[in-house]
Amino acid sequence: MTQKIINWIDTSEKEMFTKQELLDMINSFNYEEDGFVVIENSLTIKHKDKIENLPKKQYELIKLLMKNKGTVLNKTEILKNVWESDVIVGERTIDVHIRRIRKTFPEIPILTKKCHGYMWK
């Protein structure tokens, strides 16, 4: 997507932004924590040289935990924020998603706080 925008700027007769300004704007939509980068509106997570397109709920779960770094989120809060009222799911759904995330990114700093919930360390 970034390259498409840059190409558009290159061919545009009237530039509204410089290439660097545009790249800075795009990067401002990303969220980074502990070397993990959430690339907004793409369902993509980047860590080191690994880039993964994730299922929507895994992506949203990572994003929620990252944005609340250091705070334990209980399963009710996670369900409310990630699943909203889309479907009725049980709390074990969160455990399954966390397990899959950890399988994809073994170094991800998501901690399990037994009987309390999960947190980004």
Kindly report, residue by residue over 7-16, the tens digit of the pLDDT.
655 555 555 6
The whole-number pLDDT of residue 109 equals 97
In degrees and rounded to multiples of 5, residue 25 shows phi and psi of: -65, -45
Residue 26 lies in a domain: no
Contact 111, 118 (CB under 8 A): yes
CATH number at residue 98: 1.10.10.10
Q: For residue range 31-48, what is the model confidence (pLDDT) as tens digits? A: 888 999 998 878 999 999
Residue 19 lies in a domain: no
Total structural domains in the chain?
1
Residue 8 lies in a domain: no
The whole-number pLDDT of residue 90 equals 83
Residue 99 lies in a domain: yes
Domain that holds residue 71: 55-120
Residue 109 lies in a domain: yes
Residue 22 pLDDT more than 80? no
Question: Cα–Cα distances in Å, from 54 out to 21, 45, 91, 104?
Answer: 28, 7, 20, 9
Residue 101 lies in a domain: yes
Widest pairwise Cα distance in the chain = 60
Residue 36 lies in a domain: no
Contact 100, 58 (CB under 8 A): yes
Any idea what the Cα angle at residue 115 is, between residues 110 and 118, rounded to 5°? 20
Residue 59 lies in a domain: yes
The whole-number pLDDT of residue 8 equals 55
According to DSSP, residue 80 is labeled I
pTM to 2 decimals? 0.75
